[in-house]
Homo-oligomer: A and B are copies of this chain.
Amino acid sequence: MGLATRSETAWPDLQQVYEAIDARFDKHLAAIQDFLRMPSISNEGIGMEETAAYVRKLIADVGGTAEICPTQGYPVVYGEVNAGKEKTLLIYGMYDVQPVAGEQWISPPFGAEIVELDEFGKCVVCRGVFNSKGPLRGFFNVIALLREMGDLPVNLKFVIEGEEEMGSKHLPDFILSNKDRLRADAVFFPFYSQNRSGKPILYLGCKGLVYLELACQGSARGGPTSRDVHSSYAAWISSPAWRLANALAALVSPEEHILVDGLTANAKPPSDEDEELLNVLSKTFDANVWLKEADALRFKVDLNGKDLLRHYLFSPTITIDGLSAGYEGPGMKTVLPHKATAKLDIRLVPGMTVADALSRLKAHLSKHGFDDVGIEVLGSYGPSKVSVREPGVQALIAAYRHLGYDPEIWPMIGGSAPFYLFTEELGIPIIIGGLGHGGRAHSPNEYAPVSGMKLYEKSVATYLYVFGADTRIRQMC
């Protein structure tokens, strides 16, 4: 049964909505460009207040109530649009973007210019067009249009934070202290989900993350305490850098096996559902595409197909994100550094928790005599997981199929996001989606093809229709 033919609702016909999007897309695109042209760089404190106010107004303009909720950092914009419907969808998003300092762009990074890119045709090139002010603003285009044409199929709530690119430091406070008013049937994160081949990718979970800085420095134990000294003293003065190198080697072996006792003990193996999804995925999985994406010539594990995929998605990792000590310039400088630091991230798979990972790391360092290594937690997320059987997920699949797209369904992604706040803390499934494509997030020349931005709006409208419809309809999709 085609969705566009449903007649039992007061909502405008979907086909009419698609036509309206086509007709008005120039204006929609201009609205997105306006929003993108407001820099909102949380890490540098640029444009945050104005952009939060702009988002508040977007919610108010579609008939919602909205407020700017202070946090210890940048505020969360919270809003509600009560359409008097059965279902409520909570929209999670962010109004901040990554910095652009030091980057070379083909057009101004906040110019939102239309640039012809070889592989993709006309694209908007701008910081945030893909991740994720483009899809957020497009979502409001759809809501405004639906309200103008008739009614919304679902009630909406909005949690739009300003610190995602800083690790969502204060989102947990907001979520945990607003549990009651955040009740919803599902959370939706607006996103351009088509890969560069046009395939929509549907992710059902993400790994957790503990981001740490390990620091060794001179102290009562020995070593220079406040400044780098001449390296000739190394014969009788301890070296924090050797200490750090050895502490690191106690965590991960030369073959990159995790050595931290019990770190992975609670990791859940993939469920039967995950295995089924992996079966399907592995049929189209092209390892070479992923190698290219990772700028690598081979994988570090001797696995193929489904086994390789399973390993990627369901393995916890410890990664050195950065190392720093002493003299790092060109040529020689003979110093004994007083301090050495390593930035590490631990990726957690379902079953693991931030607190457990941290306590096992500390216990392991301590057991191996590295009590003196400083550990600072710079940020953390729990892992997050949603079943493919969730109605909100099934609705997205149905919406994609209605538009002629068959999604690739991933039980997990390798990356991390604050989605556990919804799935674990609020107990609400989160669905990430929308058609459209984008790339170069966190990199120069972040882009999204214009045609995909239009298709995205149609997919969002479709999703809201399917999600808002009654159970029978969803089951028929």
Is the CB of A433 closer than 8 A to any CB of chain B? no
B323 engages A236 (CB within 8 Å): no
Residue of B nearest to A380 (CB): B332
Interface string of A317-338 (1 = CB under 8 A from B): 1111111111110011111111
Choose among B209, B220, B415 the residue that contacts A298 (Cβ–Cβ < 8 A): B220
Which parts of A210-265 form the interface with B (CB within 8 Å)? 211, 218-227, 229-239, 241-250, 252-254, 256
Is the CB of A340 closer than 8 A to any CB of chain B? yes
Choose among B238, B250, B327, B415 the residue that contacts A343 (Cβ–Cβ < 8 A): B327
Chain B contacts of A239 at CB under 8 A? 256, 319-320
With A235-B312, A343-B326 in contact, is A334–B245 under 8 Å at CB? no
B347 engages A311 (CB within 8 Å): no
Is the CB of A63 closer than 8 A to any CB of chain B? no
With A254-B370, A256-B239 in contact, is A222–B297 under 8 Å at CB? yes
Is the CB of A305 closer than 8 A to any CB of chain B? no
Chain B contacts of A313 at CB under 8 A? 235
B298 engages A221 (CB within 8 Å): yes
Copies of this chain present: 2
Residue of B nearest to A224 (CB): B295
Chain B contacts of A224 at CB under 8 A? 294-296
Q: A335 vs B237: C-alpha distance in the bound complex, in angstroms?
A: 33
B232 engages A207 (CB within 8 Å): yes
- Give the number of residues in A that approach B within 8 Å (Cβ atoms): 90
Is the CB of A280 closer than 8 A to any CB of chain B? no
Q: A296 vs B239: C-alpha distance in the bound complex, in angstroms?
A: 11
Q: A76 vs B254: C-alpha distance in the bound complex, in angstroms?
A: 46
With A229-B295, A242-B252, A321-B337 in contact, is A300–B332 under 8 Å at CB? no
Choose among B236, B301, B333, B370 the residue that contacts A322 (Cβ–Cβ < 8 A): B333
With A320-B245, A321-B335, A327-B322 in contact, is A414–B235 under 8 Å at CB? yes
Interface string of A451-470 (1 = CB under 8 A from B): 00000000000000000000
Q: What's the minimum C-beta distance from A154 to chain B, rounded to whole angstroms?
A: 32
A331 engages B378 (CB within 8 Å): yes
B320 engages A337 (CB within 8 Å): yes
Q: What's the minimum C-beta distance from A206 to chain B, rounded to whole angstroms?
A: 9
The interface centre, meaning the residue of A221, A225, A232, A301 with most chain B CB atoms within 10 A of its CB, is A232
Chain B contacts of A323 at CB under 8 A? 241, 244-245, 323-326, 328, 337, 340
Residue of B nearest to A252 (CB): B242
A335 engages B322 (CB within 8 Å): yes
Chain B contacts of A237 at CB under 8 A? 294, 296, 299-300
Is the CB of A379 closer than 8 A to any CB of chain B? yes
Residue of B nearest to A256 (CB): B242
Is the CB of A369 closer than 8 A to any CB of chain B? yes
Is the CB of A107 closer than 8 A to any CB of chain B? no
B325 engages A325 (CB within 8 Å): no
Interface string of A159-192 (1 = CB under 8 A from B): 0000000110000000000000000000000000
Residue of B nearest to A238 (CB): B300
A242 engages B326 (CB within 8 Å): no
Closest CB pairs A-B (n = 8)? A249-B249, A232-B414, A241-B320, A245-B248, A323-B325, A322-B326, A322-B327, A232-B415
A-B contact pairs, 11 of them (CB 8 A): A224-B295, A230-B415, A232-B415, A234-B318, A235-B311, A236-B294, A246-B248, A248-B249, A321-B335, A322-B327, A332-B378
